[in-house]
Chains A and B, each alone.
Chain A
Amino acid sequence: MTSDEHKEGIRGMANPRRYGIERVAYLLMRLSGLGLLAYFVAHIYETSNILRGQVGWDEFLELTQTTEGHIFLTVVIGMCVFHTVNGVRVMLGHGGVGVGKPGRPDYPYDPASQNYRHKIGIYSAIVLAAAAMMYGLAVMFGE
């Protein structure tokens, strides 16, 4: 990519303010996907500590029993729930499910693909992720 192409770049791609909740969901999907990938790598490293025996395993697991560890796991829970629920919505959309039917458009041309079903799906993913995070916080900090 050269500068004379006048691409918006990552800054433009990651700007969620201009195109409604669908673009917000797009950004959250990308971020949660990258976050879960990072967690997956960290998780493999974490579980590899079993090779250090019971003591090594317990030592590493203590990291997750701190306040920072609980907050980290809460974020992972939120990413996981949002990515799953929104992923189901996106996968259905990718198959052409729930994106509306072609027809003669009338002014002001509200796009049928950005319909209430998908908006409900996005808001559901956000609400469920928030609820799961709150439940996770209650369990981890409640004891």
Chain B
Amino acid sequence: MAQVSSIAEEQTSTPISSSKSITLRIAKYNPKHDESSQFMEFSVPYEKWTTVLEAILEVKKHFDHSIAVRYSCRQATCGSCGMMINGKPKLACFTKISELNSNVITVEPMSNFPIIRDLAVKFEKLFDSHHKIKPYIIRDDSELESDEREFLQSPKEVEQYIQFANCIKCGLCNSACPTMATDSSFVGPQALAQAYRYVADSRDKGKDTRLKIIDESHGIWRCHFAGSCSQVCPKGVDPAMGIQLLRGYLLGFRS
């Protein structure tokens, strides 16, 4: 199935004009009729600023229209284009080819997510876990009366959670997590970090509810602080920190 093609040989409307090129290996797999994943190889020219997503879209445009890849914003905001790039989970739109220091770039679907086709994976489990921890402000007086002002917070109170509010739900943390690699029921670093985001919010009154949700056998205690989630996060969320701080509440170190 492997084939080597060259974009430079094609007449394109928007060619990447560069003498430098890499070999892009793209995993092709359709669970409906393929037994295993196979790689297709393409020679792709690139510039200093060319991202992996742009390279994939070039291949998709000129050589293989059937490659399934999910993307949208192209600026690390939507969290759609997470995939394994040379063995590590990264956002394709946020990863420059020139930064990878490799002549061969292998892209595969994110690990620990069921594959829809090729590079596209299912996010149902991630969204279910995210929903499970009640990702919203919980309080009795959530509706403001006409004569009241908004729920004010000091800058210090905002700093307690704002980092974790940067989560774009790309799933890279869940893909890198060693517990997720073997435990299908683990709630995952994304959801746990979001649990901390709301527990640490001074406007929220749902701390006990959330702690009860995550205090179970496949919950927060399955995290062993390997820290891989934080290393791959493209938005600086640092889920490992959030999870340990959250565990501090359960262990009585925080109140």
Contacts and interface: CB of A to CB of B under 8 A. Distances in A.
Given A95-B244, A95-B248, A102-B160, A111 B254 contact: no
A90 B224 contact: yes
A9 B182 CA distance: 5
Interface stretch (A14-22, A38-46, A48-56, A63-71): A14-22
A111 B236 contact: yes
B176 interface: yes
Contacts of B176: 18-19
Given A7-B182, A12-B181, A102 B245 contact: yes
Interface string A85-103: 0000010011111011011
A62 interface: no
A112 B245 contact: no
A103 B163 CA distance: 6
Given A94-B247, A96-B254, A109 B227 contact: no
A19 B227 contact: yes
A114 interface: yes
Interface in B49-105: 87-88
Interface stretch (B4-12, B106-114, B134-142, B146-154): B106-114
Interface residues of A, number: 39
Contacts of B166: 105
Contacts of A99: 240-241, 244-245
B227 A96 contact: no
Contacts of B230: 111, 113-114
Nearest to B223: A94
A7 B111 CA distance: 6
B144 interface: no
B182 A111 contact: no
B18 interface: no
Given A22-B227, A111-B230, A114-B227, A104 B241 contact: no
A118 B244 CA distance: 13
A5 interface: yes
A57 interface: no
Interface in B173-206: 176, 178-182, 184, 200
A18 B159 CA distance: 31
Contacts of B162: 102, 104
B12 to A, nearest CB: 33
A7 B235 CA distance: 24
Given A4-B114, A5-B112, A95-B251, A105 B182 contact: no
Interface of B: 31, 87-88, 109, 111-115, 121, 159-164, 166, 176, 178-182, 184, 200, 224-228, 230-238, 240-242, 244-245, 247-248, 251, 253-254
CB-based closest 4 A-B pairs? A105-B236, A109-B236, A96-B248, A111-B230
Given A23-B226, A100-B238, 7 more contacts: A5-B114, A6-B121, A7-B111, A90-B224, A104-B163, A107-B236, A111-B230
Interface of A: 1, 4-10, 12-13, 18-20, 22-23, 25-26, 29-30, 90, 93-97, 99-100, 102-107, 109, 111-114, 118
16 contacts: A6-B113, A7-B180, A8-B181, A18-B88, A19-B231, A20-B231, A23-B178, A26-B178, A93-B225, A96-B247, A104-B159, A104-B162, A109-B236, A109-B238, A113-B240, A118-B227
